[in-house]
Amino acid sequence: MTELPVLVVGGGPAGVAAAVTLAEAGLRVLLIEQRDRLGGAIHRQPAPDAPPVWKGTARHRRNWAELASRLESAAGLIELRTSTVFLGIDGAGRFLFDDRMAGRVFARRVRAAIVAVGAVEKIHPFEGWELPGVMSAGGAQVLLKETGRPPEGPIVVAGSGPLLLAVAAQLARAGNPPLAVLERGRPWQKPKALAGLMTAGPQLAEAAAYAAALALKRVPYRSDSEVLGVSETGQGLAIRVRSGSAKSLLQARHLLIHDGLEPNRAGIPQPAPGAEIPVLLAGDGREILGADAAILDGQRAASAILAGLGRTASTASLEADLSKARNFQLALAEALHSKATPPTAQTMLCRCEGRRYADFAALPADASAREIRLMGRFGLGACQGRFCGPMLDELRGEALPSASPPRWPLRPVSLAALANFSIDQTET
Protein backbone atom coordinates (compact mmCIF):
# COMPACT_ATOMS: atom_id res chain seq x y z
CA MET A 1 0.00 0.00 0.00
CA THR A 2 1.26 3.49 -0.86
CA GLU A 3 2.39 5.55 2.10
CA LEU A 4 -0.32 7.91 3.30
CA PRO A 5 0.42 11.59 2.70
CA VAL A 6 0.44 14.47 5.13
CA LEU A 7 -2.45 16.78 4.28
CA VAL A 8 -1.91 20.54 4.08
CA VAL A 9 -5.06 22.64 3.66
CA GLY A 10 -4.39 26.14 2.36
CA GLY A 11 -2.02 27.36 -0.34
CA GLY A 12 -0.92 30.65 1.19
CA PRO A 13 2.53 31.35 2.68
CA ALA A 14 1.99 29.15 5.76
CA GLY A 15 0.55 26.20 3.83
CA VAL A 16 3.18 26.23 1.09
CA ALA A 17 5.97 26.61 3.67
CA ALA A 18 4.61 23.60 5.56
CA ALA A 19 4.24 21.54 2.38
CA VAL A 20 7.76 22.15 1.09
CA THR A 21 9.31 21.56 4.54
CA LEU A 22 7.60 18.17 4.76
CA ALA A 23 8.48 17.21 1.18
CA GLU A 24 12.11 18.23 1.62
CA ALA A 25 12.19 15.79 4.56
CA GLY A 26 11.03 13.00 2.22
CA LEU A 27 7.31 12.84 3.11
CA ARG A 28 4.47 12.69 0.61
CA VAL A 29 2.19 15.73 0.81
CA LEU A 30 -1.35 16.40 -0.36
CA LEU A 31 -1.67 20.19 -0.75
CA ILE A 32 -5.25 21.47 -1.05
CA GLU A 33 -6.13 25.00 -2.18
CA GLN A 34 -9.67 26.23 -2.77
CA ARG A 35 -8.69 28.76 -5.43
CA ASP A 36 -7.29 27.98 -8.87
CA ARG A 37 -3.82 29.22 -7.92
CA LEU A 38 -1.62 29.31 -4.86
CA GLY A 39 -0.75 32.50 -3.03
CA GLY A 40 -3.35 33.14 -0.36
CA ALA A 41 -4.72 36.61 0.31
CA ILE A 42 -1.39 38.42 0.29
CA HIS A 43 -0.16 36.87 -2.98
CA ARG A 44 -3.53 36.83 -4.74
CA GLN A 45 -2.92 36.75 -8.47
CA PRO A 46 -4.88 38.77 -11.05
CA ALA A 47 -7.48 37.02 -13.15
CA PRO A 48 -6.51 36.16 -16.74
CA ASP A 49 -6.13 39.33 -18.85
CA ALA A 50 -6.50 41.59 -15.78
CA PRO A 51 -3.73 44.15 -15.27
CA PRO A 52 -1.58 43.67 -12.15
CA VAL A 53 -2.00 46.86 -10.11
CA TRP A 54 -0.18 45.85 -6.94
CA LYS A 55 3.01 43.85 -6.81
CA GLY A 56 3.45 44.00 -3.06
CA THR A 57 6.64 44.92 -1.29
CA ALA A 58 9.97 43.60 -2.52
CA ARG A 59 10.34 41.65 0.74
CA HIS A 60 7.09 39.76 0.23
CA ARG A 61 7.90 39.10 -3.43
CA ARG A 62 11.28 37.64 -2.49
CA ASN A 63 9.70 35.42 0.19
CA TRP A 64 7.10 34.07 -2.22
CA ALA A 65 9.63 33.54 -5.02
CA GLU A 66 11.76 31.46 -2.64
CA LEU A 67 8.76 29.36 -1.62
CA ALA A 68 7.78 28.87 -5.27
CA SER A 69 11.29 27.70 -6.10
CA ARG A 70 11.30 25.20 -3.23
CA LEU A 71 7.84 24.02 -4.29
CA GLU A 72 9.05 23.36 -7.82
CA SER A 73 12.07 21.44 -6.56
CA ALA A 74 9.92 19.25 -4.28
CA ALA A 75 7.08 18.80 -6.77
CA GLY A 76 7.69 15.05 -7.07
CA LEU A 77 6.47 14.52 -3.49
CA ILE A 78 3.66 17.08 -3.47
CA GLU A 79 0.25 16.30 -4.94
CA LEU A 80 -1.29 19.72 -5.57
CA ARG A 81 -5.09 20.00 -5.81
CA THR A 82 -6.33 23.50 -6.63
CA SER A 83 -10.01 24.50 -6.94
CA THR A 84 -10.60 21.97 -4.17
CA VAL A 85 -12.43 22.69 -0.91
CA PHE A 86 -12.00 20.91 2.42
CA LEU A 87 -15.46 19.78 3.61
CA GLY A 88 -14.82 17.91 6.86
CA ILE A 89 -14.00 14.48 8.26
CA ASP A 90 -16.34 11.52 8.04
CA GLY A 91 -17.04 8.93 10.72
CA ALA A 92 -14.32 6.64 9.40
CA GLY A 93 -11.64 9.32 9.78
CA ARG A 94 -11.41 10.10 6.07
CA PHE A 95 -10.91 13.70 5.00
CA LEU A 96 -13.52 14.91 2.50
CA PHE A 97 -12.96 17.34 -0.35
CA ASP A 98 -15.00 18.99 -3.09
CA ASP A 99 -13.11 18.99 -6.40
CA ARG A 100 -14.91 21.86 -8.08
CA MET A 101 -13.23 21.43 -11.44
CA ALA A 102 -14.19 17.74 -11.67
CA GLY A 103 -17.57 18.25 -9.97
CA ARG A 104 -17.10 15.49 -7.42
CA VAL A 105 -16.59 14.90 -3.72
CA PHE A 106 -13.78 12.53 -2.81
CA ALA A 107 -12.37 11.09 0.40
CA ARG A 108 -8.75 10.49 1.35
CA ARG A 109 -6.98 9.01 4.32
CA VAL A 110 -3.96 10.93 5.60
CA ARG A 111 -1.34 10.31 8.28
CA ALA A 112 -1.48 13.87 9.66
CA ALA A 113 -2.93 17.25 8.71
CA ILE A 114 -1.87 20.89 8.83
CA VAL A 115 -4.67 23.42 8.40
CA ALA A 116 -3.49 26.84 7.21
CA VAL A 117 -6.63 28.60 6.02
CA GLY A 118 -5.72 32.13 7.08
CA ALA A 119 -7.76 34.77 8.84
CA VAL A 120 -11.19 36.35 8.59
CA GLU A 121 -12.06 40.01 9.00
CA LYS A 122 -13.84 41.38 12.03
CA ILE A 123 -16.50 44.07 11.75
CA HIS A 124 -18.04 46.13 14.55
CA PRO A 125 -21.70 46.53 13.59
CA PHE A 126 -23.24 49.94 13.08
CA GLU A 127 -26.54 51.01 11.60
CA GLY A 128 -26.47 50.48 7.83
CA TRP A 129 -23.37 48.30 7.51
CA GLU A 130 -25.40 45.74 5.57
CA LEU A 131 -26.40 48.20 2.82
CA PRO A 132 -25.25 47.88 -0.82
CA GLY A 133 -22.04 49.81 -1.30
CA VAL A 134 -20.65 48.80 2.09
CA MET A 135 -18.06 46.03 1.89
CA SER A 136 -15.13 44.78 3.89
CA ALA A 137 -11.75 46.35 3.17
CA GLY A 138 -10.31 42.87 2.60
CA GLY A 139 -13.04 42.09 0.08
CA ALA A 140 -12.26 45.29 -1.81
CA GLN A 141 -8.57 44.38 -1.76
CA VAL A 142 -9.32 40.98 -3.31
CA LEU A 143 -11.43 42.69 -5.99
CA LEU A 144 -8.61 45.10 -6.75
CA LYS A 145 -5.91 42.41 -6.94
CA GLU A 146 -7.98 40.07 -9.11
CA THR A 147 -9.54 42.55 -11.54
CA GLY A 148 -6.94 45.29 -11.56
CA ARG A 149 -9.73 47.84 -11.09
CA PRO A 150 -10.68 49.67 -7.90
CA PRO A 151 -14.36 50.22 -7.02
CA GLU A 152 -15.70 53.17 -8.99
CA GLY A 153 -16.78 56.42 -7.37
CA PRO A 154 -15.89 58.12 -4.08
CA ILE A 155 -14.66 55.74 -1.35
CA VAL A 156 -14.27 56.04 2.43
CA VAL A 157 -12.12 53.52 4.34
CA ALA A 158 -12.96 53.11 8.03
CA GLY A 159 -12.50 50.92 11.09
CA SER A 160 -9.26 49.94 12.78
CA GLY A 161 -6.06 48.12 11.94
CA PRO A 162 -3.07 48.28 9.58
CA LEU A 163 -5.07 46.86 6.67
CA LEU A 164 -6.87 50.23 6.36
CA LEU A 165 -3.59 51.91 5.47
CA ALA A 166 -2.59 49.17 3.02
CA VAL A 167 -5.91 49.08 1.18
CA ALA A 168 -6.16 52.86 1.00
CA ALA A 169 -2.65 53.07 -0.49
CA GLN A 170 -3.46 50.36 -3.03
CA LEU A 171 -6.61 52.23 -4.06
CA ALA A 172 -4.61 55.45 -4.40
CA ARG A 173 -2.00 53.79 -6.60
CA ALA A 174 -4.75 52.19 -8.69
CA GLY A 175 -6.17 55.61 -9.53
CA ASN A 176 -9.04 56.04 -7.06
CA PRO A 177 -7.69 57.45 -3.78
CA PRO A 178 -10.19 57.39 -0.90
CA LEU A 179 -11.84 60.53 0.38
CA ALA A 180 -10.51 59.71 3.85
CA VAL A 181 -9.15 56.93 6.05
CA LEU A 182 -10.90 56.82 9.43
CA GLU A 183 -8.97 54.99 12.16
CA ARG A 184 -10.95 54.53 15.36
CA GLY A 185 -7.82 54.03 17.48
CA ARG A 186 -5.70 56.80 19.00
CA PRO A 187 -2.15 55.47 18.61
CA TRP A 188 -0.49 58.83 19.32
CA GLN A 189 -1.84 58.66 22.86
CA LYS A 190 -0.06 55.36 23.55
CA PRO A 191 3.67 56.11 23.38
CA LYS A 192 4.66 52.92 25.20
CA ALA A 193 2.90 50.75 22.63
CA LEU A 194 4.36 52.80 19.78
CA ALA A 195 7.83 52.33 21.23
CA GLY A 196 7.27 48.57 21.05
CA LEU A 197 6.79 48.90 17.29
CA MET A 198 10.05 50.68 16.63
CA THR A 199 12.12 47.48 16.41
CA ALA A 200 10.15 46.10 13.45
CA GLY A 201 12.10 47.68 10.60
CA PRO A 202 10.51 45.92 7.59
CA GLN A 203 6.95 46.49 8.82
CA LEU A 204 7.64 50.16 9.57
CA ALA A 205 9.17 50.66 6.13
CA GLU A 206 6.08 49.09 4.57
CA ALA A 207 3.77 51.35 6.60
CA ALA A 208 5.86 54.39 5.61
CA ALA A 209 5.49 53.48 1.93
CA TYR A 210 1.72 53.26 2.34
CA ALA A 211 1.63 56.59 4.17
CA ALA A 212 3.70 58.21 1.42
CA ALA A 213 1.28 56.93 -1.24
CA LEU A 214 -1.62 58.52 0.65
CA ALA A 215 0.25 61.77 1.24
CA LEU A 216 1.06 62.00 -2.46
CA LYS A 217 -2.66 61.90 -3.23
CA ARG A 218 -3.54 64.12 -0.25
CA VAL A 219 -5.72 61.48 1.38
CA PRO A 220 -6.44 62.48 5.01
CA TYR A 221 -5.76 59.85 7.70
CA ARG A 222 -7.84 60.64 10.78
CA SER A 223 -7.35 58.84 14.08
CA ASP A 224 -9.99 58.82 16.85
CA SER A 225 -12.60 58.67 14.07
CA GLU A 226 -15.36 56.18 13.39
CA VAL A 227 -18.52 55.60 11.38
CA LEU A 228 -21.69 55.96 13.46
CA GLY A 229 -24.15 54.96 10.77
CA VAL A 230 -24.88 54.82 7.05
CA SER A 231 -28.00 55.52 5.00
CA GLU A 232 -28.75 55.39 1.31
CA THR A 233 -29.19 58.52 -0.80
CA GLY A 234 -29.79 59.13 -4.46
CA GLN A 235 -26.05 59.69 -4.89
CA GLY A 236 -24.90 56.65 -2.91
CA LEU A 237 -24.21 56.59 0.82
CA ALA A 238 -24.53 59.21 3.53
CA ILE A 239 -21.93 58.30 6.16
CA ARG A 240 -22.27 59.74 9.66
CA VAL A 241 -18.82 60.18 11.15
CA ARG A 242 -17.43 61.05 14.58
CA SER A 243 -13.94 62.56 14.69
CA GLY A 244 -13.01 63.30 18.28
CA SER A 245 -16.02 65.12 19.69
CA ALA A 246 -17.11 66.52 16.32
CA LYS A 247 -19.64 64.89 14.02
CA SER A 248 -19.89 65.27 10.27
CA LEU A 249 -21.44 63.74 7.16
CA LEU A 250 -19.53 62.26 4.24
CA GLN A 251 -21.02 61.37 0.86
CA ALA A 252 -19.53 58.39 -0.95
CA ARG A 253 -20.45 55.55 -3.26
CA HIS A 254 -18.54 52.93 -1.28
CA LEU A 255 -17.62 52.44 2.37
CA LEU A 256 -14.88 49.90 3.10
CA ILE A 257 -14.92 48.67 6.69
CA HIS A 258 -12.46 46.58 8.70
CA ASP A 259 -11.87 46.06 12.42
CA GLY A 260 -8.96 43.68 12.54
CA LEU A 261 -8.45 39.98 11.87
CA GLU A 262 -9.07 36.78 13.75
CA PRO A 263 -8.03 33.18 12.97
CA ASN A 264 -10.37 31.33 10.64
CA ARG A 265 -11.32 28.34 12.78
CA ALA A 266 -15.00 27.91 11.98
CA GLY A 267 -15.58 24.16 11.78
CA ILE A 268 -11.85 23.40 11.58
CA PRO A 269 -10.79 20.26 13.50
CA GLN A 270 -9.02 21.44 16.63
CA PRO A 271 -5.65 19.95 17.64
CA ALA A 272 -6.07 17.19 20.23
CA PRO A 273 -3.12 15.61 22.08
CA GLY A 274 -2.81 11.92 21.32
CA ALA A 275 -5.27 12.01 18.41
CA GLU A 276 -5.05 9.11 15.96
CA ILE A 277 -4.57 11.60 13.12
CA PRO A 278 -2.62 14.65 14.37
CA VAL A 279 -4.14 17.96 13.22
CA LEU A 280 -2.13 21.16 13.60
CA LEU A 281 -3.03 24.76 12.81
CA ALA A 282 -0.56 27.08 11.08
CA GLY A 283 -0.26 30.68 9.95
CA ASP A 284 -2.95 33.26 10.60
CA GLY A 285 -5.41 30.41 11.09
CA ARG A 286 -3.56 29.66 14.32
CA GLU A 287 -2.44 33.12 15.40
CA ILE A 288 -2.40 36.50 13.64
CA LEU A 289 1.31 37.21 13.31
CA GLY A 290 1.65 38.68 9.82
CA ALA A 291 2.82 37.44 6.42
CA ASP A 292 6.50 37.00 7.32
CA ALA A 293 5.69 35.00 10.44
CA ALA A 294 3.13 32.88 8.55
CA ILE A 295 6.01 31.28 6.63
CA LEU A 296 7.84 30.56 9.86
CA ASP A 297 4.70 29.15 11.44
CA GLY A 298 4.17 26.81 8.50
CA GLN A 299 7.69 25.53 9.01
CA ARG A 300 7.01 25.17 12.75
CA ALA A 301 3.91 23.06 12.12
CA ALA A 302 5.77 20.87 9.63
CA SER A 303 8.63 20.42 12.10
CA ALA A 304 6.14 19.35 14.78
CA ILE A 305 4.71 16.72 12.41
CA LEU A 306 8.20 15.48 11.62
CA ALA A 307 9.08 15.27 15.32
CA GLY A 308 5.90 13.27 15.94
CA LEU A 309 7.03 10.82 13.27
CA GLY A 310 10.40 10.40 14.90
CA ARG A 311 12.29 12.71 12.55
CA THR A 312 14.84 15.19 13.85
CA ALA A 313 13.34 18.68 13.78
CA SER A 314 14.40 21.69 15.83
CA THR A 315 12.02 24.63 16.21
CA ALA A 316 14.01 26.75 18.70
CA SER A 317 15.01 29.46 16.21
CA LEU A 318 11.53 29.47 14.69
CA GLU A 319 9.90 29.95 18.09
CA ALA A 320 12.25 32.85 18.86
CA ASP A 321 11.34 34.64 15.63
CA LEU A 322 7.64 33.92 16.16
CA SER A 323 7.90 35.39 19.63
CA LYS A 324 9.26 38.63 18.14
CA ALA A 325 6.36 38.74 15.68
CA ARG A 326 3.93 38.10 18.53
CA ASN A 327 5.34 40.98 20.56
CA PHE A 328 4.99 43.27 17.56
CA GLN A 329 1.36 42.29 17.05
CA LEU A 330 0.61 42.79 20.75
CA ALA A 331 2.12 46.27 20.65
CA LEU A 332 0.18 47.08 17.49
CA ALA A 333 -3.08 45.87 19.03
CA GLU A 334 -2.44 47.98 22.13
CA ALA A 335 -1.63 51.07 20.06
CA LEU A 336 -4.87 50.80 18.10
CA HIS A 337 -7.13 49.45 20.84
CA SER A 338 -10.37 51.40 21.23
CA LYS A 339 -14.00 50.76 21.97
CA ALA A 340 -16.55 51.23 19.25
CA THR A 341 -19.73 53.20 19.85
CA PRO A 342 -22.48 50.76 20.99
CA PRO A 343 -24.94 49.75 18.26
CA THR A 344 -28.37 51.31 17.99
CA ALA A 345 -31.57 49.28 18.30
CA GLN A 346 -31.91 49.07 14.50
CA THR A 347 -28.35 47.90 13.89
CA MET A 348 -28.33 44.63 11.95
CA LEU A 349 -26.49 41.79 13.67
CA CYS A 350 -27.57 38.71 11.72
CA ARG A 351 -28.04 39.25 8.00
CA CYS A 352 -29.07 35.64 7.39
CA GLU A 353 -32.15 35.93 9.61
CA GLY A 354 -32.56 39.71 9.54
CA ARG A 355 -32.09 40.03 13.32
CA ARG A 356 -31.20 43.40 14.83
CA TYR A 357 -29.69 44.58 18.08
CA ALA A 358 -33.18 45.22 19.47
CA ASP A 359 -33.97 41.51 19.04
CA PHE A 360 -30.79 40.59 20.91
CA ALA A 361 -31.38 43.10 23.71
CA ALA A 362 -34.90 41.73 24.22
CA LEU A 363 -33.55 38.29 25.19
CA PRO A 364 -33.08 37.46 28.90
CA ALA A 365 -29.67 38.55 30.19
CA ASP A 366 -28.96 34.98 31.33
CA ALA A 367 -30.11 33.36 28.07
CA SER A 368 -28.15 30.25 27.20
CA ALA A 369 -26.48 29.69 23.83
CA ARG A 370 -29.39 27.44 22.82
CA GLU A 371 -31.95 30.07 23.84
CA ILE A 372 -30.10 32.80 21.95
CA ARG A 373 -30.25 30.64 18.85
CA LEU A 374 -33.79 29.30 19.13
CA MET A 375 -35.51 32.32 20.70
CA GLY A 376 -33.42 35.03 19.07
CA ARG A 377 -32.69 33.08 15.85
CA PHE A 378 -29.05 34.16 15.89
CA GLY A 379 -26.54 31.83 14.26
CA LEU A 380 -29.19 29.72 12.52
CA GLY A 381 -28.62 31.02 9.01
CA ALA A 382 -26.49 29.81 6.15
CA CYS A 383 -23.25 31.11 7.69
CA GLN A 384 -23.88 29.06 10.88
CA GLY A 385 -22.95 32.04 13.06
CA ARG A 386 -19.58 32.61 11.43
CA PHE A 387 -20.36 36.29 10.97
CA CYS A 388 -22.81 37.26 13.71
CA GLY A 389 -21.12 35.03 16.29
CA PRO A 390 -18.09 37.30 16.86
CA MET A 391 -20.41 40.33 17.04
CA LEU A 392 -22.49 38.65 19.75
CA ASP A 393 -19.35 37.60 21.60
CA GLU A 394 -18.19 41.19 21.81
CA LEU A 395 -21.60 42.52 22.84
CA ARG A 396 -21.88 39.88 25.55
CA GLY A 397 -18.32 40.42 26.73
CA GLU A 398 -17.69 36.68 26.49
CA ALA A 399 -17.65 33.98 23.86
CA LEU A 400 -21.00 32.50 22.90
CA PRO A 401 -20.72 28.74 23.59
CA SER A 402 -21.45 26.52 20.63
CA ALA A 403 -24.77 24.75 20.99
CA SER A 404 -23.62 22.04 18.58
CA PRO A 405 -20.74 21.33 16.19
CA PRO A 406 -20.92 23.14 12.83
CA ARG A 407 -23.11 21.36 10.34
CA TRP A 408 -21.44 19.24 7.68
CA PRO A 409 -20.32 20.16 5.08
CA LEU A 410 -18.21 23.11 6.23
CA ARG A 411 -18.68 24.83 2.87
CA PRO A 412 -21.57 24.68 0.37
CA VAL A 413 -21.38 21.73 -2.01
CA SER A 414 -23.64 20.79 -4.91
CA LEU A 415 -25.87 17.72 -4.81
CA ALA A 416 -24.35 16.64 -8.13
CA ALA A 417 -20.86 16.62 -6.57
CA LEU A 418 -22.13 14.64 -3.58
CA ALA A 419 -23.81 12.15 -5.90
CA ASN A 420 -20.44 11.74 -7.62
CA PHE A 421 -18.74 10.79 -4.32
CA SER A 422 -15.78 8.44 -4.43
CA ILE A 423 -13.14 7.08 -2.06
CA ASP A 424 -9.58 7.28 -3.31
CA GLN A 425 -8.79 3.58 -3.59
CA THR A 426 -5.03 4.12 -3.55
CA GLU A 427 -5.21 5.16 0.09
CA THR A 428 -7.48 2.47 1.56
pLDDT digits (tens, 9 = 90+) for 173-205: 999 999 999 999 999 889 998 888 887 788 888
Backbone angles phi, psi at 222, to 5 degrees: -110, 120
Domain-wise residue ranges, the chain: 6-120+263-310, 123-259, 348-386
Backbone angles phi, psi at 248, to 5 degrees: -150, 175
Is the pLDDT reported for residue 404 higher than 70?
A: no
pLDDT at 261: 92
Report domain 6-120+263-310's class: alpha beta
Fold match, 6-120+263-310 / 123-259: yes
Could you count the other beta carbons within 10 Å of the beta carbon of residue 67?
Answer: 22
pLDDT digits (tens, 9 = 90+) for 338-353: 988 999 999 999 888 8
pLDDT at 3: 86
Is the pLDDT reported for residue 403 higher than 60?
A: no
Residues of the chain with pLDDT > 90: what percent?
A: 63
| Weakest mean pLDDT among 36-50, 154-168, 259-273, 399-413 | 399-413
To 10 degrees, what angle do helices 162-173 and 201-216 make?
Answer: 50
CA distance 180 to 331: 25
Q: Please state, in angstroms and as integers, the Cα–Cα distance from residue 43 to each residue in 128, 291, 404, following that order.
A: 32, 10, 35
pLDDT digits (tens, 9 = 90+) for 231-277: 999 889 999 999 999 999 999 999 999 999 999 887 677 776 667 88
Band (pLDDT 50/70/90 cuts) for residue 395 is confident
pLDDT at 366: 81
pLDDT at 54: 65
* Sequential DSSP letters for 403-428: SSPPPSSSS---HHHHHT-EE-GGG-
Specify the fold of 123-259. Answer: FAD/NAD(P)-binding domain (3.50.50)
Top-confidence range, 69-73, 317-321, 403-407: 69-73
